[in-house]
A and B are shown apart, each in its own frame.
Chain A
Amino acid sequence: MAVNYGSKRTVVGAGYGTSDWVGQLATGLVMALYTVAVLVRWCWPRVNEMGEKFTGYEQWASVFAPQWMKVFTFAIIVALAYHAWAGFRSIAMDYVKAAGLRLLLQIAAVVWLVGCAGWMMQVLWSI
């Protein structure tokens, strides 16, 4: 059996694969349910203060207008970032064999996802 301790200890790879697999599955499931929730809210007939039916922009933007929907959506963004990070890491581990380049890509992925999450947060609370 190959030596897997001391200086030969495996330091690359997923490490905690099971928890990430379950995490990716759970976040995926939550995002799928969120998708359905948004579609139902969008299609559900709603009226404004004047009693007129929402259409076009109003119908779409009012889906995300309440504070609870923004908080909910933000939680989904965090779930998406985790999900996408695990997915990107799987791809990087499968196709990028050079450890240095892979590390660089994984760091870049985290920066990319955290940056996008921050931008998305700003968008949500400016509605």
Chain B
Amino acid sequence: MAQASDDLKARRKAKPEFRNINVFKDVRTYRLPLAGFVSILHRVSGLLMFVLLPVIIWLFAHSVTSQISFGQFQAALAWAPVAGLPIVKLVVLALFWAFTHHLFAGIRHIYIDVSHQLSKDMGRKTALAVLIPSIALTLVFAAKLFGLF
């Protein structure tokens, strides 16, 4: 009996079972599938936009209110107080990625919900269909934001 339970313990050790994932212990060893990355990034991007709502509204308000506020909006974008680092532009870039990822991942959700096509392969393919365009668009936006074209 003791022998059998030792065997079981040894096997469990060799092949860990993840139940309640601990951020500090399991995240580094847990092999997340692509669909899992899309899922957690959907949350991260949503929370990021939630937290930065006042920043979004401030930028929107200054971009539309008047010619003068539009000038302040442009000045804010160019603002680089520390070591020439354009902080506002970087925040806008992060928000652009968050919005794009959240939008595409949301469309993926709707597609899965209405099509009822749930399989490992489909999960992986649709995850790629979210990650590739959202990252590509973010790169294009970054190039535009930093004046490459």
Which residues of A are at the interface with B, using a C-beta cutoff of 8 A? 25, 28-29, 32, 35, 56-57, 60-61, 64, 84, 87-88, 90-91, 109, 112-113, 116, 119-120, 123, 126-127
A28 pairs with B106, CB closer than 8 A: yes
A88→B50 CA distance, assembly (Å): 8
B107 pairs with A32, CB closer than 8 A: yes
Q: Is the interface of B mostly helix, strand, loop or mixed?
A: helix
**B131: shortest Cβ distance to chain A, in Å?**
18
Enumerate chain B residues within 8 angstroms of A61, measured Cβ to Cβ: 63-65, 70
Enumerate chain B residues within 8 angstroms of A25, measured Cβ to Cβ: 109-110, 113
Enumerate chain B residues within 8 angstroms of A127, measured Cβ to Cβ: 64-65
B29 at the A interface (CB under 8 A): no
B57 at the A interface (CB under 8 A): yes
B106 pairs with A87, CB closer than 8 A: no
Enumerate chain B residues within 8 angstroms of A112, measured Cβ to Cβ: 50, 53
Given A60-B64, A64-B64; A29-B53 close (CB under 8 Å): no
A29 pairs with B110, CB closer than 8 A: yes
Q: Is the interface of A mostly helix, strand, loop or mixed?
A: helix
Which residues of B are at the interface with A, using a C-beta cutoff of 8 A? 43, 46-47, 49-50, 53-54, 57, 60-61, 63-65, 67, 70, 103, 106-107, 109-110, 113
B107 pairs with A123, CB closer than 8 A: no
A57 pairs with B70, CB closer than 8 A: yes
A65→B50 CA distance, assembly (Å): 26
A49→B32 CA distance, assembly (Å): 57
A90→B53 CA distance, assembly (Å): 18
B110 pairs with A28, CB closer than 8 A: yes
A84→B57 CA distance, assembly (Å): 15
Given A25-B113, A57-B67, A84-B50; A120-B57 close (CB under 8 Å): yes
